[in-house]
């Protein structure tokens, strides 16, 4: 499985999907107008992804702004990760928010109630 | 020039008239920061949100209000480009926006065309979110998200709800029917009041 790296743009986050290192990350702001189209590439990548049983995968979400359409797309990704976990993959999800950022914390809390996979909320220092 | 071009042109003129009339009746003590009427490109939406974020940070506005207003700009203007009527092409939809501030608030007024047949559906939705308590709004948002799916136009049904959630005042809106056309002007003002929770 090939590594996928998308560079950060004005309205999309940096995305790194590195299956060999067992590390995935979403970092930055996410408000593309056509969120479904932007995240299609990511969904397709995960659809083809076959987790190794010997690897523990770490996923960091470190998003500073997420539009309502992007929230739906990330929800889809989390549902996909939940399915992979049910099929036996070891996946640890970390949802990072700046300690004074209620919005991002609340979005993370919503996801913990909506998807059947543990999501660890982590407050980080304000930069 | 064909009929469609004529009609679109006249819709821009109508929108321009509404824009100028709006500028004359802004809230007392308002300073206009950014405004435009006509067409709206995606890059203009992004730049407006980022410019306002920088401006509010410089003015040392609390982070939660800066983020709320960023969200309001994105949701309101993307809504226009996705759902606005009057042209097929997103880049050609006639609209206007006004970003203004008073001593204790920032607000965004936008206007776009809607179809006459959609008046009831839209006004019911805005009235519904306006009448919910903050807890009720949160619950409605959560339920809509949990059923979440993207429409063919790319909307998630969360735009208006998000506007209401981010604003700490009711959404002020009006729908004006026009003569000789099936289009109406939908205008909405979303406010972030810096003195309220």
Domain count for chain A: 1
Residue B34's pLDDT band, with cuts at 50, 70 and 90, is very high
Strands B95-102 and B31-38: antiparallel
Burial of B60: CB neighbours in 10 Å, binned 0-12, 13-18, 19+? exposed
Residue of B45, B63, B71 lying closest to A100 (CB–CB): B63
Residues 136-165 of B with CB under 8 A from A: 142, 145-146, 148-150, 154-156, 158-159, 161-162
ipTM: 0.92
Q: What is the pLDDT of residues B145-183, one digit of tens each?
A: 888 665 555 555 788 999 999 998 999 999 999 988 899
Q: What is the pLDDT of residues A97-116, one digit of tens each?
A: 999 999 999 999 999 999 99
Task: State whether residue B75 sits within 8 Å of chain A by CB.
Answer: yes
Instruction: Quote the mean pLDDT of chain B.
Output: 90
Q: What is the pLDDT of residues A55-96, one digit of tens each?
A: 999 999 999 999 999 999 999 999 999 999 999 999 999 999
Task: State whether residue A35 sits within 8 Å of chain B by CB.
Answer: yes
Burial of B92: CB neighbours in 10 Å, binned 0-12, 13-18, 19+? middle
pTM confidence score: 0.93
> How distant is the Cα of B9 from the closest Cα of chain A, in angstroms?
26
In whole angstroms, give the CA distance from residue A45 to residue B178. 49
The CATH label, of 1.10.357.10, 3.30.565.10, 1.25.60.10, 3.20.20.30, for the domain at B3-193 is: 3.30.565.10
Residue A24's pLDDT band, with cuts at 50, 70 and 90, is very high
Domain residue limits at A33: 4-124
Query: What CATH number is given to the structural domain containing A84?
Result: 3.30.750
Three-state SS for A89?
Answer: coil
Across the interface, whether the CB atoms of A71 and B154 are under 8 A apart is answered no
């Amino acid at each position: 499985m090939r590594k996928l790296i998308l560079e950060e743009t004005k309205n999309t986050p940096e995305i790194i999907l590195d299956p060999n290192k067992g590390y995935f990350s979403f970092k930055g702001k996410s408000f593309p107008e056509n969120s479904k189209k932007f995240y299609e590439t990511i969904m397709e990548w995960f659809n083809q992804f076959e987790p190794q049983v010997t690897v523990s995968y770490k996923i960091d979400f470190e998003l500073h702004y997420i539009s309502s359409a992007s929230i739906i797309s990330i929800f889809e990704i989390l549902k996909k990760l939940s399915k992979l976990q049910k099929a036996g993959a070891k996946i640890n999800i970390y949802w990072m928010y700046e300690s004074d950022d209620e919005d991002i914390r609340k979005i993370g809390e919503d996801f913990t109630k909506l998807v059947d996979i543990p999501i660890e909320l982590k407050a980080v220092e304000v930069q | 020039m064909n009929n469609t071009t004529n009609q679109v042109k006249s819709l821009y003129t109508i929108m321009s008239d509404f824009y100028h009339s709006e500028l004359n009746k802004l809230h007392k003590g308002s300073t206009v920061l950014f405004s435009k009427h006509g067409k709206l490109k995606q890059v203009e939406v992004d730049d407006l949100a980022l410019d306002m974020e920088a401006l509010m940070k410089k003015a040392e506005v609390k982070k939660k209000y800066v983020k709320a207003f960023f969200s309001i700009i994105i949701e309101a203007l993307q809504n226009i480009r996705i759902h606005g009527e009057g042209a097929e092409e997103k880049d050609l939809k006639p609209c206007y926006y006004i970003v203004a501030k008073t001593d204790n608030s920032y607000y965004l007024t936008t206007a776009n065309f809607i179809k006459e047949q959609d008046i009831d559906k839209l006004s019911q939705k805005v009235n519904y979110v306006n009448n919910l308590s903050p807890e009720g709004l949160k619950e409605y948002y959560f339920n809509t998200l949990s059923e979440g799916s993207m429409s063919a136009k790319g909307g998630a049904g969360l735009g208006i709800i998000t506007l209401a959630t981010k604003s700490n005042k009711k959404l002020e809106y009006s729908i004006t029917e026009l003569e000789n056309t099936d289009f109406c002007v939908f205008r909405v003002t979303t406010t972030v009041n810096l003195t309220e929770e």
